[in-house]
Amino acid sequence: MTPNHQTNSTLLDRALGAFLGLAVGDALGATVEFMTAREIAVQYRTHKEIIGGGWLHLKPGRVTDDTEMSLALGSALIASGGWNPRAIADAFVKWMQSNPVDIGNACRRGISRYIADGSLSAPFAEENGGNGAAMRNLPTVFASLANEDVLIQRSIEQAHITHDHPLSDAATAALACMTRWLLLEGAQAPCDKMANDLIAQHPAFAFKPWPGKTSGYIVHTVQTVFDGFFNTGSFEECLVRVVNRGGDADTTGALAGQLAGALYGVQGIPARWLKKLDPAVTAAIYKQTPQLLKLS
């Protein structure tokens, strides 16, 4: 399938839904990051408003490294006029040196290694099995819609700047391919097959019934995101289900928002959440998204 199989306006609506959905999920989930589901229920009953706070003491609508690294990757592709892993790594360096509100350990290690020796691939390590590569990959999808094989190759290339782990690779590629399909066709059903294929190759990702873990380990992240995405019927229902499980809720929220936003489009995102989102982030997403799509 190619972008020519539907109108440009439909594709743009879904793409904006995915990117804004990622940012909304990040901002919503950040409030309850590292809390347990029981703690969330005691404090909020159901957490469903973008109110900031949390362990990072964020202003309402502020995003974290999930959205910021995605925007950094997007800016590198736009400035380069196409795929350029070194430009991506340089953009990550610039972002890390800007004193971000949060940065994962594997991302910090990988970017620091790149500064030290210029290498574009981290060595394999078990501790690189986190979700930091998958969470930032959406601009790669936008710029690679025309060819799934190219998308998978590029997704793993950007992942390896900081993460070299087979489960991270597999999940990053699978989430990218699901998002691509949703953007091009707007159908959820084929994503079931993609999830089943991932589980067939890597049984650790099995999520039925949901195993109940919400750490930053890529397996736990994917299980929580899939459980939310495949068992709900709206963007809001999906995000509320996911973030109220706590743990690494900014990233599970971001990835669930990416998938649900691609499926339901901008119109499916609650207006009250979009209004709360940091205006600078919203403006950057609206600027980057059509430019990235033109690279595909």
Amino acid at 85: P
Q: Which of 166, 236, 247, 177 is nearest to 212 (CA)?
A: 247
Residue 294 tokens read as: 């033109």
Answer for the pair 52, 61: CB distance below 8 angstroms, yes or no: yes
Question: What is the pLDDT, as a whole number, of residue 3?
Answer: 40
Question: What is the pLDDT, as a whole number, of residue 7?
Answer: 57
Percentage of the chain lying above the pLDDT 90 cut: 95
Residue 68 tokens read as: 């910021």
Element (H, E) at 262: helix 249-264
Rounded distance, CA 269 to CA 15, Å? 13
Q: What is the pLDDT of residues 14-69, one digit of tens each?
A: 999 999 999 999 999 999 999 999 999 999 999 999 999 999 999 999 999 999 99
Dihedral pair phi/psi, residue 270, rounded to 5°: -55, 130
Q: What is the pLDDT of residues 224-268, one digit of tens each?
A: 999 999 999 999 999 999 999 999 999 999 999 999 999 999 999
Question: What is the pLDDT, as a whole number, of residue 16?
Answer: 98
- Judged against a pLDDT cut of 60, whether residue 6 lies above it is answered with no
Q: How far is CA 123 from CA 69, 164, 232, 278, in A?
A: 21, 6, 38, 36
Neighbours of 230 (CB within 10 A): 15
CA contacts within 13 A on the Cβ side of 125: 15
Question: What is the pLDDT, as a whole number, of residue 8?
Answer: 87
Answer for the pair 158, 137: CB distance below 8 angstroms, yes or no: yes
Per-residue pLDDT band for 2 (boundaries 50, 70, 90) equals very low
- Judged against a pLDDT cut of 60, whether residue 289 lies above it is answered with yes
Q: What is the pLDDT of residues 59-117, one digit of tens each?
A: 999 999 999 999 999 999 999 999 999 999 999 999 999 999 999 999 999 999 999 99
Q: Which of 200, 201, 199 is nearest to 227 (CA)?
A: 199
Q: What is the pLDDT of residues 149-192, one digit of tens each?
A: 999 999 999 999 999 999 999 999 999 999 999 999 999 999 99
Residue 80 tokens read as: 């380069």
Residue 144 tokens read as: 């690679």
Dihedral pair phi/psi, residue 268, rounded to 5°: -85, -10
Question: What is the pLDDT, as a whole number, of residue 111?
Answer: 98
Question: What is the pLDDT, as a whole number, of residue 4?
Answer: 44
Query: Is 269 strand, coil or helix?
Result: coil
Q: Which residues contact 102 (CB under 8 A, 6 or more apart)?
A: 56, 64, 65
